[in-house]
Structure formats: structure tokens, C-alpha cells
Amino acid sequence: MSEPRNKIITEDQAVATLRSGMTLGIGGWGSRRKPMSLVRSLLRSDITDLTVVSYGGPDVGLLCAAGKVKKLIYAFVSLDSIPLEPHFRLARQNATIPEPTEWDEGMLQWALFAGSLRLPFLPTRAGLGSGVMDVNPSLKTVNSPYADGEELLAVPAIRLDAAFVHMNRSDARGNAQYLGPDVYFDDLFLAACEPGRRFVSAEKIIPTEDLLKEGTFHTLKINRSMVDGVIHAPNGAHFTTCEPDYGRDESFQKAYVDAARDPEAWKAFSDRFLSGDEANYQSQVVAWREEVKAAKEAAK
């Protein structure tokens, strides 16, 4: 009897399949359930000239700061509790993203949905009349072929070369589960991606028979036919939210923002947290928390 595919890999093995110039979709939303351990691995690689599609948070900020983004397709980049993402702001203000592509939030969904359905475009009203049309002159409209004849924006499909999403649980074959309040558009990112580089990191890898122990079947939006690689990544979304396993690490997020204000501080932050592997990152976060706690005690 043939064996099923073995999909358990590491972040670095996933990233090793990527090439410069590819189109990468990153799941999550703002500073919520972002596949940060995969992003951190990507930061350590030589890969560059990426087209990145994201409901942007620190994933986008970090990739911009590292100069890995050629084209960014986004509607916003935000840290939610801290509205503005410092690295993204700098990148835009210094015009270091060669091809910023700013769309409406709904247009991103439509582009990924069209990509997942292998349609060339999907029509919408979102974007019409707005500055999105001014700064994206390649966007085209279509007229309804029916009696109404309405002119609609034809959102071009996005097909991804690679997709990263982070889930609460997955089995070893990629049947993945979100236990928080929102799947965001993670299923669409995977569905819009060419098979081969669809990666799911998860807090816990569990046996298939345990998938319904913590959530109902409604939480199983991602099945194994949508996934090529499964990465065990405890605390992998840190410092973003991963409800209900953990909330956002607000104090660490603030430290990230503070460090981004100053090149020297950023270098120190980056050297400490981002130059080593994921295990180093996680142990440095633990050590950092201890230091902050000790400093607070000392200040009392």
C-alpha cells in the first residue's frame, strides 16, 4: 500500500522552496494570527524581489524593512492596537517599495477569490470613484452584459506562487483548524495559491481524530488538499494575536515599534531577535520578558 504524503517540515524547509521574484500571500489580518515564524525564516533567507499580498501587519513591515518587497498589494498595513506600522510608513515615505499597489480591502478578497476560482477577474463597485482608480491606472472596468449595463471594476485575479498562514491546530496532513473568532481570508490565500508552496504553521500538531475536540466542524475551513507543508510553530504568531491560545503581546509590539523609530535601536532589536533561528527568537522573547519584569521590580 502507498504511504500518504509526509508534509511535516520546518519553516526553513518551506522557505527554501521559494525563489526571488515570486508572489507570496500572507494570511492573518493586521496584527492578528500572522504566520510570523515563517516570515522570520523568510527574513533570514536571500530571497528578494517579492510580490507580497497581505492584509498587512508586522509581516509587511518586517519584509519592507529587510528590503525584500518589490511589489506590495495591500489595502492597509496596521498593528491594530497601534494603528500605524512604523517600517511600512518609512518604506512608503522613502519610496523604497518599487511598486506599491494600494487597493480596497474588498478588492483583495475578490482578487484572491477570482484566483482561487481560476477566473480572470471578478466585478465589484469597491474602488470605483476612489483614489484607487487614480493610482492604479492598469485597473479596468467591465459593463454588465445584462439590461442594467452597469460599469463595474474588474478586479484582476491574483494567483500566488506561495502562501503562508498560521492556524491554531493542524493534523500532520494539513487538515487545519482556527479556534479564534475569524478565519480572516486564510482559506482564500491557500486556495489562490499554486499547489506546491502552500504552507500552514500551527500552534499544535494533533492527531486527525482530535480535530473536533476543541472546535466544531465549522472551524475546519482548511483541508489537506489545500496544503503542501505543515510546520509545528508554537507561539509562531508572536507578537500578533492567536486567540484563544494567546493574545497579542502588546508590550513586545510596543518595543518593536519603539525600536523601529531609530536605526541603531532597530539594529539592536534585529540583532537580538531576528538574526538567529526561530528557537533563538522564542528564547530571546522569554529572556526579554524576564528583563522587563526585573526592571519593573527594580523600579518599585
Partner 1 sequence: MSDSVALADVIAVACAEAWRGDGEIFASGMGVMQMLGARVARATFEPDLMISDGEAFYVSGDLPIGGTQKLVEGWIPFRSVFDTLAGGRRHVMMGASQIDRYGNSNIANIGPWAKPKSQLLGVRGGPGNTVNNATSFFIPKHQTSVFVPNVDMVSGVGYDRAKKVGGFIAKRHDLRRVVTNLAVLDFNSPDNSMRLVSVHPGVSVDDVVANTGFELVIPASVPVSRPPTPEESAAIETIDPKGLRHREIPT
Q: Using CB under 8 A as the criterion, which residues of the chain lie in contact with partner 1 when the complex forms?
A: 29, 56, 74-78, 83-84, 88-89, 92-95, 102-107, 109, 124-132, 134-135, 148, 150-151, 181-185
Strand ranges (E), 179-292:
198-205, 229-232
Which of 74/256 has CB closer to partner 1?
Answer: 74
Which of 7/34 has CB closer to partner 1?
Answer: 34
Minimum CB–partner distance for residue 81 and partner 1 (Å) = 11
Minimum CB–partner distance for residue 181 and partner 1 (Å) = 4
Could you tell me if 124 and 155 are in contact, meaning their C-beta atoms sit under 8 angstroms apart? yes
Which of 37/136 has CB closer to partner 1?
Answer: 136
Which of 135/142 has CB closer to partner 1?
Answer: 135
Minimum CB–partner distance for residue 92 and partner 1 (Å) = 4
Could you tell me if 230 and 172 are in contact, meaning their C-beta atoms sit under 8 angstroms apart? yes
Q: What is the rounded distance in angstroms from the CA atom of residue 20 to the CA atom of residue 204?
A: 30
Q: What is the rounded distance in angstroms from the CA atom of residue 250 to the CA atom of residue 236?
A: 16
Minimum CB–partner distance for residue 163 and partner 1 (Å) = 17
- CA dihedral of residues 188, 59, 245, 280 (deg, nearest 10): 130
Minimum CB–partner distance for residue 295 and partner 1 (Å) = 27
Which of 29/256 has CB closer to partner 1?
Answer: 29
Core vs surface per residue 56-82: b (16+ CB within 10 A) or e: bbbbbbbbbbbebbbbbbbbbbbbbeb
Which of 157/188 has CB closer to partner 1?
Answer: 188
Minimum CB–partner distance for residue 69 and partner 1 (Å) = 14
195: left (phi over 0), alpha (psi -120 to 50) or beta: beta
Could you tell me if 231 and 171 are in contact, meaning their C-beta atoms sit under 8 angstroms apart? no
